[in-house]
Structure 1
């Protein structure tokens, strides 16, 4: 796993408007520019924040990526990807709790 490359990708997608637009238009094409394995590329394409965090990616980067580009930018959905979230539970933590 190339955690540093994954973090660079997510950082760019969180702060660079042109990168966000390129990702929206052609996510696979955008990701081809980076030295990612097929599994890593799929994590990003699937917005698999659990797999990204398990691979060591900074939780703030996964949360920023989710909030900027995910089809469902709701934080409850983000948290549900990391762990089960009960009705009425506050969802303010970005990291996977273990």
Structure 2
């Protein structure tokens, strides 16, 4: 796994306006520019925040990526994707510890 590359991709998508636009226009084309394994690229394309965090990606980057570009952008959905329970859903956390 190339955690550093995945983090660089998410960082660009969180802070660079041009990167966000390119991703919106052609997400698959955008991630192909990076040295990512197919499963890593797919996690980004699928907004698989749980998979990204399991691969060691910084939780603040996954949350920022979700808030910036996810079609759903709901923090409730974000937390569900991380596997949080209804009880955990009431509070705020960028990551859930198992």
TM-score range, shorter chain: over 0.9
Q: TM-score, normalised by structure 1?
A: 0.95
Matching residue of 1:65: 65
Structure 2 residue runs without a partner (length 5+)? none
Cα contact 2:3–2:55 (8 A) shared by 1: yes
RMSD over aligned Cα atoms: 1.4
Matching residue of 2:95: 95
Which is helix-richer, 1 or 2?
A: 2
Cα contact 1:76–1:91 (8 A) shared by 2: no
Moved over 6 A (4+): none
Superposition map of 1:72-87 within 5 A? 72-86=72-86
Structure 1 residue runs without a partner (length 5+)? none
Matching residue of 1:12: 12
List per-residue Cα deviations over 1:12-71 (Å, max 9, x = no partner).
000000000000000011111100000000000000000000000000000000000000
Q: TM-score, normalised by structure 2?
A: 0.95
Distance 2:56 2:18 in 1: 26
Shift of the 97–31 alpha-carbon distance from structure 1 to 2, 3 Å rule, reads: same
